[in-house]
Structure 1
Amino acid sequence: MPTPAHQLPGGPTDLNRRVATLERELRELRAARRARHTSLDVDGSLRLVDAQGNVLTEMTSSFDADRRAAVAAYEERGDRRFYAALAAGDLAFGIDGMRRQDEGRVAFADLGDRLELYLSSGSRESAASSLVVMYSGTAPGSGDSLIDLVTDRVAVGGVLTAGSIAVGTTTVTPSGANIPTSFLVTGLNVRGSTFRAYVTAATAVPGGAGVTGVGATNVTSGGFTLWVTRANTTPTALYWMVIGQ
């Protein structure tokens, strides 16, 4: 009559060996599935490749043939491949095939008596436009954002715009000679809690027979009142600026 022992293939020891072999093969199978699209090249590069052969992430000993690199990540967008690479403490990002000076970079340097954070959006040596956008906690318009810049010198090579500054030109026709005439400027949205307005007349004859005075009152975030007085009723262009603090 068969007993439970007859169900053991070759005895308990042989069963243990078979179970251990099965566990090892299962681990190897799982590892093979995880590494299905991963390649290790002869140059020391470890690449993660998707099913279509696109390189998603790369760990390599060289980047652009002249720099040490720790890791590079790629994203395919149409016929272009965007990348980000961390190389010797320098985070570079751009498009495959672009020149070194055209790539964006974020670098940190210890200069002994000071620390430096360098941001570049590329095109540093060309005439193409560059854009660097920094958000501090919230996006513009959704709440208070603060980026403190403490330095001895700030250089802006293009047009400077700020939510706390509004500029414009308004033409006012005096209601009579030597009579102060006002004009209400509206539609502004200057950021800040206190506001100042500065006005100057576009004229070649200040004083005497020309403009004798300009001014501004009731300055708020939304607008202010312009004033002009001149010796005649010639329409006068007034340049103005409102600054919020």
Structure 2
Amino acid sequence: MKRVVLLVIVTFLMVSMILPQTSIFGANEVQLRFLSLQVGVHPEAPWLEKTVNDFNALNKGKIKVIIDGVAGDQACWEKLRTDAAANTMPDLFTLKADRSEFDVLAQSDRVVDLNSYLKADAEFKKKLNDPGSLETYTYKGKLLGVPYAKAYVGIYYNKTLFAKAGINSFPVTWDEFFAASDKLSKMGVAPLALMTGENSWTSALMLAHLIGTSGPEGLKWLQTSPKDQKF
């Protein structure tokens, strides 16, 4: 059975607006298993719990979402892979913004195409307001997921050092960025400090932004996943 990829919590809110108008639910309450890593000490756990509780209260007697929590990115992903292999996929689930994980599931042909739901609710589609993400999570014309949040990555800079180096404003292009870095280097100042211990998260973000914004080819490369992962 195909299941809905819930890259966003609002996906099942959308389902609640569309499906109750049909006879699919009948007279009995439908229970949906939602596999999520946003549990325990995860910073999004309180938000998810409240959202699900609010949804269940709004749809009492019709639809009930039950959170199946698995703490940790890798543990949750392995649980999803195991469920897919056993054909016991959850009804709803989240994924990281990771093209490799998405492609594995897309190729399994066990995920619902959401295009018809968005066409049936133009107002909901307008609220997404993120055509780039919709394109990212489209596979062979099928929309298999929608984003539930955006992450904004900030950069801190030292205005005093910028002024001493003759840099009047923060660079807005990569050419300007590297030119500013060269000026700081000539002053004997390290132009950039990135996290390189543990998981090198900020370094990975910086490189991803550099590659993804370098042009169409860079973005395509960034969205290309390994082909050796299959169910």
TM-score, L = length of structure 2: 0.23
TM-score, L = length of structure 1: 0.22
Q: Where is the strand percentage greater, Structure 1 or Structure 2?
A: 1
Q: Where is the helix percentage greater, Structure 1 or Structure 2?
A: 2
Bigger relative contact order (CA 8 A; separation at least 6): 2
